[in-house]
Copies of this chain bind each other. A is one copy, B any other.
Amino acid sequence: MMNMDPALDMQKASQLLKLLGDKTRLMMMKLLQSHDCCVCEFVAIFNMSQPGISQHLRKLKDAGLVKETRRGQWVFYSLNRENEYGGFIDDLLKHLPDQNERFVELEAQGLRITCE
| A interface residues (Cβ-Cβ under 8 A, vs B) | 1, 3-5, 8-11, 13-23, 26-27, 30, 87-88, 91-92, 95-98
Given A14-B20, A18-B18, A19-B21, decide whether A5 and B95 contact each other with a Cβ distance below 8 A: yes
Closest Cβ neighbor of A7 among chain B residues? B97
Instruction: Enumerate chain B residues within 8 angstroms of A97, measured Cβ to Cβ.
Output: 3, 8-10
Instruction: Enumerate chain B residues within 8 angstroms of A19, measured Cβ to Cβ.
Output: 21
**Oligomer: number of copies:** 2
Closest Cβ neighbor of A91 among chain B residues? B91
A–B pairs, 16, beta carbons within 8 Å: A4-B95, A5-B95, A9-B97, A10-B27, A10-B97, A13-B95, A13-B96, A14-B20, A14-B26, A16-B21, A17-B20, A18-B21, A18-B22, A20-B21, A91-B91, A91-B95
Q: Evaluate contact between B10 and A26: CB separation under 8 angstroms.
A: yes
Pick from B1, B26, B98: contact of A3, CB under 8 Å: B98
Q: Which of A5, A8, A30, A97 has the most CB of B within 10 A?
A: A97
Instruction: Enumerate chain B residues within 8 angstroms of A18, measured Cβ to Cβ.
Output: 17-18, 21-22
